[in-house]
Structure 1
Amino acid sequence: MKTYKYPAVLTIAGSDSGGGAGIQADLKTFSALGCFGTSAITAITVQNTLGVTGIHSIPPAIVQGQIKAVMDDIKPAAIKIGMVHSVELVQAIAETLQQYAYLPVVVDPVMVATSGDKLIEDSTISVLKQQLLPLAEVVTPNLDEAQILAGIPIHNLEDMKKAARLILDTGCKAVLVKGGHLQGPRLYDVYLHQNGSEQVFESEAIASNNTHGTGCTLSSAIAALLAKGADMVTAIIQAKQYVHQAIDKGKDVKTGEGHGPLNHFFQPQKLEKYELD
């Protein structure tokens, strides 16, 4: 009898009790795209569609233990990193991932929730840039996060390109600056690679109040598609298409009184199987 394996992905992120972002959104995304999801929880948030009212940090040794337990047994093919809000956690994760440097890492530098609540300590930002971003195959900041990482204000597409170049100086292989917070009928994302290649992705804006977890979902989708063998640009294009449809298919649904979630399962794929070598 032949033996198979699933394309597995690890998310290292915080838990969202409201189910729209964080670990919950990541696992939904992995499943919807035909991957087996695993997790290492960095924090437990008290959160719903209206905002974040509390954060309980998981001890760094426990986070390290979760990562190693998954990596050494299930052996995922890609890693997504989301909310890492303390210096100690950044250092613990960076130290642990040095052992698995052969895997693509997608870093979504979660700093501010859709509700506007801050999700990272100020002292953590410089350590994140020094220790975690250099491990990334791609970093996926939104405009608020890109302004913090690059240290410049962003008002237009040219500012996005300038910020991408500055973030690239942290040592990551590539950066995708997401322009969803710019006002206008069209959305622009800027992709820049260390090899000098640059690409601007354009899409139509969707009027919806249900955008909670969009960044988590996009970075998770990129990681899932990389785990399935896609190259980076293809993974980004397909991940953007998935998020666009997930927003569109969930725009008329009311979940809670604030910013609702995407419809992650608008067209779920079957869990894929690959024959073991």
Structure 2
Amino acid sequence: MIANLLTIAGTDPTGGAGIQADLKTFSALGTYGMSVVTGLVAQNTRGVREIHPVPAAFVAAQLDAVFDDVRVDAVKIGMLGTPDVTRAVAGVLAARRPPYVVLDPVMVAKSGDRLLAADAVRELREVLLPLVDLVTPNLPEAADLLGVPEAVDEDGMREQLADLVRLGPAVLLKGGHLTGPECPDLLAMDATGEPVRLTAPRIPTRNTHGTGCTLSSAIAALRPQRSGWPDAVADAKRYLSGALAAADRLNVGSGHGPVHHFSDWW
């Protein structure tokens, strides 16, 4: 059976991040993609120009329209933007209880522009996190969630991972912001077990726009097709590495260009 995947996120007119990246990833990994828009984002590969939030009631209406009609096998959540939208999404998830929910806590764009209002961080941490199965913060997002300085090495990552996993869901803490020849990620299923260390070679390209969106949507797409989170995460990382390795074959924009979501097919 082909899995039905739902992304809840903002838009990217240049197609490299947000809902557009999620739908490409869902398709590349053999699932049927659906989308609920939380915000209209005027951005390109160089930065974010303007964000038009979708009213929370209409976000909830979109979600109800999908859940009333379609079997949803997994959900990926990206940019939420405002406290009201965060609460609206949490309310629908609490009522509908989809099998798997992956949260990419989108707070800051690659360009440095903030995508989650500061007053929405508490809602994300206290209202939404208990309802998701896996959260995938990078190092700046982890620091924002915990209200602490950003980790600068793997020891610091392990300390923050222990605090993050106590918030409720399993955690994939991404170490791409560290320096070195590889990108280390740490996956913790709960507060008691030893985290799984997953690494990938650091690929020399500036075309990294949408990597967080792509990884989290790949994990969501693969979870219904795999036996557990570790297998889904490992295979999603392999998919992203391939998309990054082929990113320079694309010629999209003059800033941080997108990864190549369909590198295995084109």
Question: If the length of structure 2 is used for normalisation, what is the TM-score?
Answer: 0.96
Q: CA deviation at 1:238?
A: 0.2
- 1:141-160 to 2 correspondences below 5 Å: 141-153=137-149, 154-160=151-157
Q: CA deviation at 1:254?
A: 2.6
Q: CA deviation at 1:251?
A: 2.6
Matched, 1:249 2:246: yes
Q: Equivalent residue of 2:68, what SS? A: helix
Query: Residues of 1 paired with 2:265 and 2:36: CA distance?
Result: 24
Aligned to 1:30: 26
- 1:153-172 to 2 correspondences below 5 Å: 153=149, 154-172=151-169
Matched, 1:117 2:121: no
Matched, 1:105 2:101: yes
2:255 equivalent among 234, 255, 258: 258
Q: Equivalent residue of 2:246, what SS? A: helix
Q: Percent same amino acid among aligned pairs?
A: 44
For structure 1, list consecutive stretches of 5 or more residues without a partner in the other structure.
270-277
Matched, 1:234 2:231: yes
Deviations along 1:107-156, whole A, 9 cap, x unmatched?
00000111111111110001110011111111000111011112222010
Q: CA deviation at 1:227?
A: 2.7
Matched, 1:67 2:67: no
Query: Residues of 1 paired with 2:98 and 2:5: CA distance?
Result: 14
Question: If the length of structure 1 is used for normalisation, what is the TM-score?
Answer: 0.92
Whether the 8 Å CA contact 2:12–2:43 is kept in 1: the answer is yes
Query: Residues of 1 paired with 2:15 and 2:161: CA distance?
Result: 30
Matched, 1:132 2:153: no
- 2:2 aligned partner, one-letter code: Y
Query: Residues of 2 paired with 1:267 and 1:252: CA distance?
Result: 12
Q: CA deviation at 1:268?
A: 4.5
Which structure is richer in relative contact order (CA contacts within 8 A, separation 6 or more)? Answer: 1
Task: Note closer, same or farther for the CA distance 1:254–1:102 as it changes in structure 2 (3 Å cut).
Answer: closer
Query: Residues of 2 paired with 1:267 and 1:156: CA distance?
Result: 33
For structure 2, list consecutive stretches of 5 or more residues without a partner in the other structure.
none
1:208 equivalent among 205, 210, 213: 205
Deviations along 1:192-231, whole A, 9 cap, x unmatched?
1116231111111000011000000000000000132441
Query: Residues of 2 paired with 1:105 and 1:58: CA distance?
Result: 21
Query: Residues of 2 paired with 1:262 and 1:81: CA distance?
Result: 20
Aligned pairs, number: 264
Q: CA deviation at 1:27?
A: 0.1
Give the alignment's Cα RMSD to 1 decimal: 1.4
Q: CA deviation at 1:102?
A: 4.6
Query: Residues of 2 paired with 1:23 and 1:167: CA distance?
Result: 26
